[in-house]
Structure 1
Amino acid sequence: MYLFGASGHGKVVAETAESAGMKISGFIDDNPALINVWDYPVLREIPPGNPEVFLSVGNNLTRKKLSARFPDLNYPAIIHSATSVSRRASLGEGTVIMSGVSVNADVRIGRHCILNTNSSVDHDCIIGDFAHISPNAALAGDVKVGEGAHIGIGASVIQGISIGKWAVIGAGAVIIRDVPDFAVVVGNPGKLIKFNEIRT
């Protein structure tokens, strides 16, 4: 498996894969200053032969664009060994679940998502493709997170809430009302401060 993206996020993905016993052949990154990350070589292009590739890029929109650019690659999911993931949860290709994450019954996680360190996703939540649940964020039961949404570090979302596509929830926010598409919401309780202009 090759990790596409050799940033700090890529390093955490690498250690997540290592914990799961997955073999890493190297990184792929266009930064000419990067020759190696630890003992792994950094290549400039995806090698031939249709290898497994994981999009180890933290930016949600960039992951979407890369997956569209390379639609035929084999994208594995990566689950850290130190997690609690319900056997009744489902997750899509290219998704990473990092150390300390809790995923409960009947959660559905889309493609190329990030469930970051110590986040918690309770029963019946639906996480859309390319979403990012940041470290220590907590989703109560039956929360719906739209495509590309970013739930900030330490944010809390009460049960039954819908977070729109490409919305951003600020660090430490407490979300007690539905959040529309492209909205940026911060504070306790969460307050809408603007809408992002994102071309997906």
Structure 2
Amino acid sequence: MPKDLVIVGAGGFGRETADIVEAINAAAAQPVWRLLGLVDDALSADNEERLVRRGLRHLGSADELISGDQRPHYVVGIGSPAARRRVAGRLDAAGFPAATLVHPQATLGSEVTIGDGSVVCAGVRVTTNVQLGRHVHLNPNATIGHDTTLEDFVSMNPASSVSGDCVIETGSLVGVGAVVLNRLRLGAGAVVGGSACVVKNVASGTVVKGVPAK
């Protein structure tokens, strides 16, 4: 029997997450998830129209979800690591279990661990001995090299790459097309700009950009 699921956030990544749910169900012998709809505290008119075209329900706000009697699984489809952390904290405290979603067209190597609440999109490549924390987002075509750890609430934007033996600390974001070279560490809450190339460790809370990133 499929498990009930809600997606928090009806923006772009939230709707991409709905695509992943559909792909998982299509690839399985029987549906894995029953998507009840999407939760959004400030649904825009454009996103409301997009949900209607997709046949997806808007379930109201997070407050309304929490005040209800049901406790379906959830994922947070919000790109901002800080916002994702706030939402997940509320839902965890209210007793909602976090789902883990991996697109069937993602490639996972040996000895890969994935924390609850993480979302892995199509085209992602994760090699060997990689640890992903809770609520990690791997956007389309991101690559994670061997022996690397991504801590909780990390976001890897589309086509970004982390080489081997790296540590990406909690709440960091690696921008679209950016590269982190091997044996480096990004401190908690660090942000790497799009198309940047990181060649040395990045301190917590620091924003770097350019080639080389600084």
When the two structures are superposed, what TM-score results if normalisation uses the length of structure 1? 0.91
Asked if residue 51 in structure 1 is aligned to residue 72 in structure 2, the reply is yes
Determine which structure has the larger strand proportion and give its number.
1
- Does the 8 Å contact 1:36/1:42 carry over to 2? no
Q: CA deviation at 1:16?
A: 1.1
Q: Distance in 2 between matches of 1:24 and 1:61?
A: 25
Q: CA deviation at 1:59?
A: 1.2
Q: Distance in 2 between matches of 1:93 and 1:186?
A: 30
**Which residue matches 1:24?**
35
Q: Distance in 1 between matches of 2:39 and 2:69?
A: 13
Q: Distance in 1 between matches of 2:50 and 2:182?
A: 44
Q: Distance in 1 between matches of 2:172 and 2:195?
A: 16
Q: Distance in 2 between matches of 1:48 and 1:16?
A: 27
Q: Distance in 2 between matches of 1:138 and 1:57?
A: 20
- Does the 8 Å contact 1:35/1:42 carry over to 2? no
Root-mean-square deviation over aligned CA pairs: 1.4
Q: Distance in 1 between matches of 2:198 and 2:187?
A: 12
Asked if residue 14 in structure 1 is aligned to residue 18 in structure 2, the reply is yes
Aligned match of 1:4 in 4, 8, 24? 8
**Which residue matches 1:195?**
none
Unaligned ranges ≥5, structure 1: 192-200
Q: Deviations over 1:56-91 (max 9, x none)?
A: 111110111111112221111100111101241001
Query: What secondary structure is seen at the aligned counterpart in 2 of 1:20?
Result: helix
1:75-154 aligned at under 5 Å gives the runs: 75-154=98-177
Determine which structure has the larger helix proportion and give its number.
2
Letter in 1 for 2:188: K
Q: Distance in 2 between matches of 1:70 and 1:14?
A: 19
Aligned match of 2:207 in 171, 179, 184? 184
Query: What secondary structure is seen at the aligned counterpart in 1 of 2:78?
Result: coil
Aligned positions, number: 191
23 and 86 in structure 1: CA distance in 2 versus 1, 3 angstrom threshold: farther
Q: Distance in 2 between matches of 1:36 and 1:42?
A: 11
Q: Distance in 1 between matches of 2:17 and 2:39?
A: 13
